[in-house]
Chain A
Amino acid sequence: MSVLVDKNTRVVIQGLGSAGKFHAATMVEYGTLVVAAAHPGKGGTEGKGIPIFNTVSEAVAETGADTSCIFVPAPGAADAILEATAAGIRLVVCITEGIPTLDMLKVKHALSGTSTTLIGPNCPGIITPGQTKVGIMPAPVHKPGRVGVLSRSGTLTYEAVDQLSRLGIGQSTCIGLGGDPVKGLDFIDGLKLFLADPQTGGVVMIGEIGGQAEEEAAAWIRENMSKPVVAFIAGRTAPPGRRMGHAGAIIAGGKGTADEKIRVLKKMGVLVVESPAEIGAGMQKALENGRR
């Protein structure tokens, strides 16, 4: 078992620019079933044996694609998400960085009431080690196993996963939630999926400054989570009012500080590691202790 994606997931790539082409190839190499690509004007052609369609709905009808991975540049990315939704895609993974926030507001509005799940944008994607990867993460650091990973970051996630794998702790599924202020899947959604997944024995949660998602997740964990959760929050040294790379990583009006998130998580019984070098060790300890 795993969450959201497995070896049967059928992927359509949206946007065949250089990034789309490059990462589609690494996904194929990993064993992901990349069954189609959609790129307006390139319909009827193919790239490396993968058929290209003008629209996502054609791709779905012809190939049975159920998941999309978006590399469309920011100005067209919101449209690409909604195109996938309209085509009946079950899971949309949007890698694109730099989508205007108000575009995402509209996307969130349009997605409510549909059965489509959105991951991202501005995220590395999702991987179920040993089965499939839908995204841009470096596959070799991952290892199949029992720990679920949820993160707002990219390279910091690879760092955490690498720590886990070196300690012999494999991962059930790793989900990059993305660094934007308005996004699809968030911590609570991911925690619910991992709670329901029998393979997952614990969850690593990597948060950062900005917003209240970690605090909300902390309250949810206290009420509902029976599996151990280990958290790290980046940005304790970040100055207020500055955007730390990610559009969503900003302390605004005194809200969204790392210290406050850490305080709330600890209060709700979550094991918070102080150092980013101790994420793997923290999870190891939590697994040994059983419950959180």
Chain B
Amino acid sequence: MKIHEYQAKDIFSRYGVRVPRGRVAASAGEVMQVARELDGVVVVKAQIHAGGRGKGGGVKVVDGPGQARSAAEAMLGRPLVTHQTGPGGQVVRRVLVEEGLQIESELYAGMVLDRETARVTLILCSEGGVEIEEVARTHPEKILREPIDSLTGLMPHQVRRLAFGLGLSKSQVRAATAFLSGMYRAFVELDASLVEINPLVVTQAGDLVALDAKMSFDDNALFRHSDLVELRDVDEEEPAEVEASRFGLSYIRLDGNIGCMVNGAGLAMATMDIIKLCGGEPANFLDVGGGTDAGRVQAAFKIILSDENVKAVLVNIFGGIVRCDVIAEGMVEAIREVGIRVPLVVRLQGTLADRGREILAGSSLNVVSVESMHAAAEAAVREAQGVS
């Protein structure tokens, strides 16, 4: 689960990680009020989950309440397009208004889980404010890493190595210890999956401040953080994906025109891949899960068909514990209920697949029924091309 910058900064400040003074605002009036309180140069930052806001015009440095108001009016209620939002952009519903800082230098600080060492790993870089992936590609030597032992936590010697490695002064190293320790505590206490401060700035006064803040959480651990669940902003998510999650379906919308309904995440990905191999483009990832019943199949069809780009639907089920006859019956029922305006290709394999195919054949539905995965993908691509 992702959260907004202002929410991440609230969390950080609770953990002793210094952030700029400021407040979130949802109207131009509020923005003026905050700017007046802060006095002087302020920064108005659009609050959307996607990155690249600065380049998209979502971050403005302005002088005084009047300018802050104009900047906010240009953002609030309008879509902001960045390289991460897609062409339609994402509507800005809030802005964060913060004090402007006198910046000496910009660094990067991040924390992620390193899967191979099974450790939370701290990453620091002497170049902040730019994309870390880009630095990793062009100047890998500028990136410093410290894997953190879950028993000892982040140790002072690790901070010293990194901070001196970045050329910080002795007093700044002390500040860095408090800053990075706070970051680590927030990570482990709140079951984060990613913490990123880019840039982490050194001010002309010599302070370390999180100028930006990004934080996301392990969905699997949200059951023990009810306060974090409240930070979820469904406005930032694709409506069809929110709807799918209500039914326990894992759905991700893509750009293609062949809707997919598959049981199992690996098989769902493989189905997308084989569609592409056969010359088509998948419209979505959808895992209907193991305990599939008619209700879920119905919800899945509705969600797939809510995408107007879909020109054909491919159902790929490998029956294991779930029997294909049950799936077939559920499908017939679901389609009668939902109605389907595009060709449907169904591939049933595994437990009681023959019986499942008989049920489909015996129904009045117009279904292209195939046995192999390859034939199914080919048929779906052909059907999708046939519909104009």
Stretch of A52-60, A61-69, A95-103 with 4 or more beta carbons under 8 angstroms from chain B: A95-103
Q: A98-B220, A208-B269 are in contact. Are A181 and B113 (CB under 8 A)?
A: yes
List B320-336 residues whose CB lies under 8 Å from chain A.
320-321
Residues in A with CB closer than 8 Å to B262 are 155
How many of B's residues come within 8 Å of A, CB to CB?
55
Q: A206-B266, A237-B276, A276-B274 are in contact. Are A244 and B252 (CB under 8 A)?
A: yes
A249 and B266 CA atoms in complex are apart in Å by: 9
Stretch of A81-89, A132-140, A221-229 with 4 or more beta carbons under 8 angstroms from chain B: A132-140
Q: A98-B220, A247-B220 are in contact. Are A238 and B116 (CB under 8 A)?
A: no
Residues in B with CB closer than 8 Å to A248 are 115
Q: How far is the CB of A250 from chain B (nearest CB, A)?
A: 9
Q: How far is the CB of B1 from chain A (nearest CB, A)?
A: 11
A274 and B278 CA atoms in complex are apart in Å by: 11
Decide: B115 and A244 in contact? CB cutoff 8 A: no
Band of interface residues on A: 35 or more
Decide: A154 and B191 in contact? CB cutoff 8 A: no
A176 and B372 CA atoms in complex are apart in Å by: 23
Decide: A102 and B277 in contact? CB cutoff 8 A: no
The number of residue pairs between A and B whose CB atoms lie closer than 8 Å in the complex comes to: 176
Q: How far is the CB of A95 from chain B (nearest CB, A)?
A: 11
Nearest CB in chain A to that of B188: its residue: A102
Stretch of A33-41, A156-164, A195-203 with 4 or more beta carbons under 8 angstroms from chain B: A156-164
Task: Judge if A168 is at the interface, Cβ distance under 8 Å.
Answer: no
Nearest CB in chain A to that of B277: its residue: A275
Task: Judge if A266 is at the interface, Cβ distance under 8 Å.
Answer: no
Q: Which of A101, A137, A141 has the most CB of B within 10 A?
A: A101
Decide: A100 and B115 in contact? CB cutoff 8 A: no
Task: Judge if B221 is at the interface, Cβ distance under 8 Å.
Answer: yes
Q: How far is the CB of B290 from chain A (nearest CB, A)?
A: 8
Decide: A138 and B272 in contact? CB cutoff 8 A: no
Stretch of A1-9, A42-50, A104-112 with 4 or more beta carbons under 8 angstroms from chain B: A104-112
Task: Judge if A292 is at the interface, Cβ distance under 8 Å.
Answer: no
Complex partner residue of B266 from A156, A213, A254, A277, CB under 8 angstroms: A156
Decide: B274 and A182 in contact? CB cutoff 8 A: no
Q: Can you sample 7 A-B contacts with CB below 8 Å?
A: A100-B218, A154-B267, A156-B269, A156-B270, A159-B270, A211-B116, A236-B276
Residues of A at the B interface (CB closer than 8 Å) are 22-23, 26, 74-75, 98-106, 108-109, 136-138, 140-141, 151-159, 162, 179, 181-182, 206, 208-213, 216, 232, 234-239, 242-249, 252-254, 258, 274-277
